Structure 1
Amino acid sequence: MKTQRPVPAEEEHRVIQFRPRDPARSSAWRADALMQPVHKDALHKDTLCEPLDLSRYERPVEEPDDFRHRMLANIAAFAFTVALTAIGIWLAMSIADMRRTQDCILLGQRDCARIATPDSPL
């Protein structure tokens, strides 16, 4: 049996000629993109003078970095995360156990509850 392929139309496969940008225009555009207006009403290219970098978000170097405080905060955050994870696991296990017991009772079985004796482990 022959495989049937669709016949491509002339308009589907078109080669577009690459035209490089004008170097003078593209460099001016890049310079405008890297600058930010100083004032809200400064929409003209003449008033662009502040470079777009992250220096305006940096903290002043007046106070030294407190490594000990940062490490204690990280340890406290890690302990809190571990505690939340442990509580979540315990809660999921107890809900699953209660669900098993409830399903057993609803099915009418008699030996649903686990009774701990001193001789046998849970």
Structure 2
Amino acid sequence: MTDEGEEKPKPHEDEGSRAIENAVMLGFFAVLVAAGIWLLSTMADIRKVQDCAAQGRRNCGTIDAPVR
């Protein structure tokens, strides 16, 4: 007879693999946060240019001046 109500014990997880998984997840979230910050910054720059153009101004693009 088998006991269907009994749960089989789960195999013990290796501490080293758990640390690797945590490091991979930390890296993933760091990349995700960096991409989000970059996206928000780009959207803010585009909004500034669109606001400038909507006001009828010309030369709304950024001008890179050489450093003296």
* 2:10 is the alignment partner of 1:59: yes
In the superposition, the TM-score normalised over structure 1's length comes to 0.46
Deviations 1:85-111 (A, max 9, x none): 110111011011101101101111234
1:86 alignment partner in structure 2: 34
Kindly name which structure, 1 or 2, has the bigger radius of gyration based on alpha carbons. 1
Q: Structure 1 or 2: larger helix share? A: 2
- Which letter does structure 1 place at the counterpart of 2:19? M
Distance 2:40 2:21 in 1: 29
* Aligned residue among 69, 92, 95 for 2:43: 95
Structure-2-length-normalised TM-score: 0.77
Unaligned segments of structure 1, at least 5 residues: 1-37, 40-49
Question: Would the alpha carbon gap of residues 107 and 67 (structure 1) be closer, same or farther in structure 2, given more than 3 Å must change?
Answer: same
| Distance across 1 between alignment mates of 2:41 and 2:8 | 46
What RMSD, in angstroms, separates the aligned Cα atoms of the two structures?
A: 2.4
Secondary structure of 2:26's aligned partner: helix
1:107 maps onto 2:55 in alignment: yes
Matched residues, number: 66
Structure with the bigger RCO (C-alpha within 8 Å, sep 6+) is 2
Relative to total residues, which structure has the larger strand share, 1 or 2?
Answer: 1
Distance, in Å, in 2 between the alignment partners of 1:65 and 1:59 is: 9
Distance 1:111 1:57, change over 3 A: farther
Q: 1:80 deviation in Å?
A: 0.4
For 1:57 and 1:96, locate their aligned partners in 2 and report how far apart those are by CA, in whole Å: 54
Summarize the alignment of residues 4-23 of structure 1 with structure 2, pairs less than 5 Å apart.
none
1:73 aligns with 2:21: yes
